[in-house]
């Protein structure tokens, strides 16, 4: 299947092995892993950063196999999740960076104007999905002039 905004085919990626329990060598202490997650979240780490730290430094290859819930669910139960989902926040930061670039004397940069349009389209599509999942309020709208306030 082709990519949406490129004129090339997608790359196949690796898939995680289908296992139902954590491997024997991994850290399987549920309370310790949960406290690590909360400590890292208090330190300002995103969910993907927390997952990489747990994988690389604490021998937890998959949080769901140890805790029984996704990492985002653990944060949401402890009211430490962000206002916006992480993938949407990353796209909004990318849009702010492109807007800053275009505003600092590069207003003729047509490639980045197109990149901004594509990024904003992705944000709107994700917003529609998250509204359907009730993770965003139904009246939420993407506004370019309010974007800096949402990101900061």
Q: What is the pTM of this model?
A: 0.82
Is residue 112 over pLDDT 60? yes
C-alpha–C-alpha distance, residues 63 and 66, integer Å: 5
C-alpha–C-alpha distance, residues 131 and 151, integer Å: 19
Q: How is residue 152 written in tokens?
A: 């900061």
> pLDDT tens-digit profile of 24-42?
899 889 999 999 999 999 9
Residue range 122-151: mean pLDDT, rounded? 92
Instruction: State the pLDDT at residue 13.
Output: 80
C-alpha–C-alpha distance, residues 74 and 80, integer Å: 9
> pLDDT tens-digit profile of 47-101?
999 999 999 999 999 999 999 999 989 999 998 887 889 999 999 999 999 999 9
Instruction: State the pLDDT at residue 138.
Output: 93
Instruction: State the pLDDT at residue 1.
Output: 53
86-151 belongs to which CATH class?
mainly alpha
Contacts of 25 (CB under 8 A, 6+ apart): 59
Is residue 122 over pLDDT 70? yes
Instruction: State the pLDDT at residue 132.
Output: 95
> pLDDT tens-digit profile of 60-73?
999 999 999 999 89
Residues in the chain: 152
The full set of domain ranges for the chain reads 30-77, 86-151
Q: List the Cα angle 2/7/87 in 5-degree steps.
A: 65
């Amino acid at each position: 299947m082709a990519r949406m905004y490129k004129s090339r085919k997608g790359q196949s990626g690796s898939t995680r092995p289908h296992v139902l329990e954590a491997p024997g060598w991994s850290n399987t202490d549920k309370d310790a892993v949960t406290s690590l997650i909360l400590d890292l979240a208090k330190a300002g780490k995103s969910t993907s950063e927390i997952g990489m730290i747990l994988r690389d430094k604490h021998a937890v290859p998959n949080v769901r196999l140890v805790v029984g819930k996704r990492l985002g669910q653990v944060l949401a139960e402890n009211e430490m999740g962000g206002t916006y989902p992480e993938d949407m926040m990353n796209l909004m930061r990318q849009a702010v960076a492109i807007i800053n670039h275009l505003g600092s004397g590069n207003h003729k940069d047509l490639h980045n104007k197109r990149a901004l349009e594509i990024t904003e389209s992705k944000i709107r599509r994700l917003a529609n999905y998250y509204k359907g999942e009730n993770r965003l309020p139904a009246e939420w709208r993407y506004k370019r002039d309010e974007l800096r306030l949402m990101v900061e």
